[in-house]
Amino acid sequence: MLHTVNKSPFEKNSLHSCLRLSKPGANILLLEDGVYGALKGSDISEDIEASLADRGVYVLGPDLKARGIHDDRLIDGVQVVDYAGFVKLAVDAPRVQSWL
């Protein structure tokens, strides 16, 4: 299953709901303002680090670039994909849940 989160975790609880209600083995893609959730050393990065134990966490590169965030600022284990990678994640998952 692929979950997409497009909200900043510092403003909305979408990411936390997604982490709480997704299952081991799921993939989570952060896009739009959701990409801020992938920043290393923030108040919420421990939650992402914990979820990486049994879930894949991806972040949309074009949205990182737009926000001036370079790859070296991301939590270790978070993988950067482009829009083609987003499509592939959606193809590979049986369902896609958007946490709007």
Q: Which residues would be at the binding site for other proteins (CB under 8 A)?
A: 4, 6-8, 10-11, 31-34, 36, 39-43, 45, 61-63, 65-70, 73, 82-84, 86-88, 90-91, 95-96, 98, 100
Q: Which whole-number Å values give the CA distances from 32 to 3, 36, 38, 62, 83, in the listed order?
A: 14, 9, 12, 9, 12
Of 19 and 35, CB closest to other proteins: 35
Closer of 54 and 72 to other proteins (Cβ): 72
Task: Provide the 8-state DSSP code for 69.
Answer: -
When the beta carbons of 54 and 77 are compared against other proteins, the nearer one is: 77
Distance, C-alpha 38 to centroid of its chain: 7
What is the four-CA torsion angle of 76, 80, 86, 87, rounded to 10 degrees? -110
Residue 31 CB, shortest distance to other proteins, in Å, is 6
Q: Provide, rounded to whole angstroms, the least separation between the CB of residue 54 and other proteins.
A: 23
